[in-house]
Amino acid sequence: MWIDEKLVPPMTWTTSDRVERILSSYPDRKSAVMPLLYVAMAEYGYVTDEAIREVAGLVGMTSVQVSSVATFYTMYKREELGKYLLSVCTSISCSLLGGRDVLHAVEDETGVPAGETGPERDFSVEHVECIGACGGAPAVQVNYELIEGVGPDKARELVRWLRHAAPAVVRGDEMQTLFGGQRSFDWGPSEAAGATGPLPSLGSIGTMGESK
């Protein structure tokens, strides 16, 4: 006996406890659209058309409404990204201390121009607006995990390290120790949590990874 898999309704991410918890943490389901878009990104790698339809169904909005939200916010990506999203800050404080040079170093070392993803899907590179690391300028994020005080040379080392060590979980504390310099403030004890892909690492949206 065999089962035609196409006939079995699939258990998808939309029926998970996590989704239910997110929906029930707001007085109105529509408020869950943003966290659910993150969960969908974690599921598919980016916000796919399918994800838009599924999120719309979950929160009681039309696909067009969800799409309108997804495209308003820069962190919801509508195309597949590389394994590591490198975001280089070029706003005023980083810019005064060489942020543009860091961006050029990252573009050169990865071979990926800002705003694009490399053909091997290893790196995506972008310039970002102020990431609140002005006291540790210039600053870079890898999958939104922060490294402060990164000059062009250290930024190149960071790229080479990501390429060769290929960490499954990227941790800000680890990268700061290896490649960072001046910090905005004392970070305190290091934490085990880090990012598993190109979206913010948080327990409630299921994107948090841990490593030692």
Partner 1 sequence: MKILTTRMEAHPSDSHTIERYVATDGYKAARKAILDMSPGECHEEVKASNIRGRGGAGFPCGVKWGFLPPDVRPRYLVINGDESEPGTFKDRQLLERDPHQVIEGIIISAYAIDCNQAFIYIRGEYPKPARRIEQALAEAYDAGYLGKNIFGSGFDLEVTLHLGGGAYICGEETALLNSLEGKRGEPRIKPPFPAVEGLYGKPTIVNNVETISNMPWIVTNGGAAYAAIGPEGSVGTRMFSLSGHVRKPGNYEIVMGMTFREFIEDYGGGVPGDRAVKCFIPGGASAPWFTGDQLDLPITIDDVGNAGSMLGSGAIVVMDETTNVVEAAHSIVSFFAHESCGQCTPCREGTSWLEMVLARILRGQGRPVDLELLLDVSDNIAPGLGWPPKMTTICPLGPSAVSPVTSILRHFRDEVEAMIPAGGPHG
Kindly state whether residue 133 participates in binding partner 1, applying the rule CB under 8 A. yes
Kindly state whether residue 67 participates in binding partner 1, applying the rule CB under 8 A. no
**Alpha-carbon gap, residue 143 to 86, rounded angstroms:** 7
**At its nearest, how many Å lie between partner 1 and the CB of residue 160?**
24
Task: Out of 38, 84, 123, 179, point to the residue binding partner 1 (CB under 8 A).
Answer: 38
**Alpha-carbon gap, residue 84 to 59, rounded angstroms:** 30
**Alpha-carbon gap, residue 143 to 174, rounded angstroms:** 14
Give the ranges where 60-98 is alpha helix by DSSP (H).
63-72, 92-96
Contact 60, 75 (CB under 8 A): no
CA-based end-to-end distance of the chain: 46
**Alpha-carbon gap, residue 126 to 28, rounded angstroms:** 34
Nearer to partner 1, 118 or 200 (CB): 200
DSSP class of residue 7? G
Single out the segment in contact with partner 1 by CB under 8 A; choices: 78-86, 104-112, 143-151, 156-164: 143-151
Task: Out of 53, 78, 193, 209, point to the residue binding partner 1 (CB under 8 A).
Answer: 193
Kindly state whether residue 4 participates in binding partner 1, applying the rule CB under 8 A. no
Binding site for partner 1 (CB under 8 A): 25-28, 30-35, 37-38, 59, 61, 68-69, 72-76, 87, 90-93, 95-97, 128-137, 141, 144-146, 172, 182, 184-189, 191, 193, 195, 200-205, 208
